[in-house]
A = this chain, B = another copy of it.
Amino acid sequence: MPLIESEEAIIGRLGELFRNSFAPRLEVGIGDDAAVISGIDNKLVATVDMAVEGIHFHKDWSTPFQIGAKLTTASLADVFAMGGHPKYLLVAAAISDSNNSEVITELAKGIRSVADNFNVSVIGGDLSKSEKMALSITALGELDADPIRRSGAKVGDLVYLSSLPGLSAAGMAILNRGLDRPRYVVEAHLNPKLVKPDNLIKVASAMCDVSDGLTIDAGHIAKDSKVSINFVSEQLIGATDFKDLQELATELNEDVFDWILNGGEDHFFIATVDPTKASDELGIQAGLVVSGNGQIMLDNKEIKKSGYQHF
């Protein structure tokens, strides 16, 4: 296989790399002007995420496999956050033409490493040259119930986290110091593991994925629901993974609560739940919805939203 392939050869090979059996209703797939699905039975959920080199990832840190996997995770998490079932992906990639064959193969494998877990198929895309890599992934899904909006939280609802955020921020702190261990922490940043929040989807009054940082993402729910959210440090400290995260923070001389509250990209979920539906199976009960105007508090003191701001 040559290191630099022609576009025609690449697209033919992508058809192979993405061939799978998850899309029985795919009428036209990769290789025509657009993909065609023979029908959508339910509501259609649609979202797009983009990642560009130097901003969202660094080639020194991340392999093409990890870059593909992580953006797929972000995109599928958005479909889960509405309560939907992702089905199809469209992938647009602009990559440098040196060694394009290997980069494309690894990107495709990374995308499949996540998509295959959820029976999601890549049905089309766009490929071009670029000095700096840019990748966009569109996820399409189905939804057979009311969408779980950010605006549905009610005063008195409990706030749940599907897992304790902060490990991705810890991984980035390690990479920022030029280190690469502990490996599982670095991996949490480079290739976060996506778990579908099945139990939360059944009961959430509002939900979003934790991509920009817990304070910012909780802030989206609070603002759109015209409420405030109060996190309780004692409940966060009680979470299973807190101790490990705290030890890492101490070692690196960082603030564990800064990681939890402001670190992004874990792609866990925050949801609000009516107290009558409380259950240990929903994850970490981390706080309460209170009356207010979009404030996020920790132990009743407002905290500044300092997670990842794109501008």
Mark A residues whose CB is within 8 Å of B. 4-7, 10, 27-28, 31-40, 42-52, 54-56, 77-79, 81-82, 84, 88, 90-94, 97, 100, 123-132, 134, 136, 138-141, 143, 147, 149-150, 207-209, 224, 309-311
Contacts and interface: CB of A to CB of B under 8 A. Distances in A.
Nearest to A309: B7
A311 B37 contact: no
**Identical subunits present:** 2
* 10 closest Cβ pairs, A-B complex: A34-B47, A136-B136, A50-B92, A33-B81, A134-B134, A48-B90, A37-B44, A40-B40, A33-B78, A138-B138
A246 to B, nearest CB: 30
Given A36-B45, A36-B147, A44-B44, 7 more contacts: A28-B147, A33-B79, A34-B141, A40-B40, A44-B140, A52-B134, A97-B311
A147 to B, nearest CB: 4
Given A33-B81, A94-B52, A149-B32, A128 B310 contact: yes
A307 B93 CA distance: 20
Contacts of A311: 4-7, 10, 97, 100, 129
A27 B141 CA distance: 14
B27 A128 contact: no
A149 B143 CA distance: 29
A125 to B, nearest CB: 6
Given A46-B123, A126-B49, A32 B150 contact: yes
Given A5-B311, A90-B47, A78 B34 contact: yes
Contacts of A32: 82, 147, 149-150, 208, 224
Given A127-B310, A128-B56, A147-B27, A46 B50 contact: no
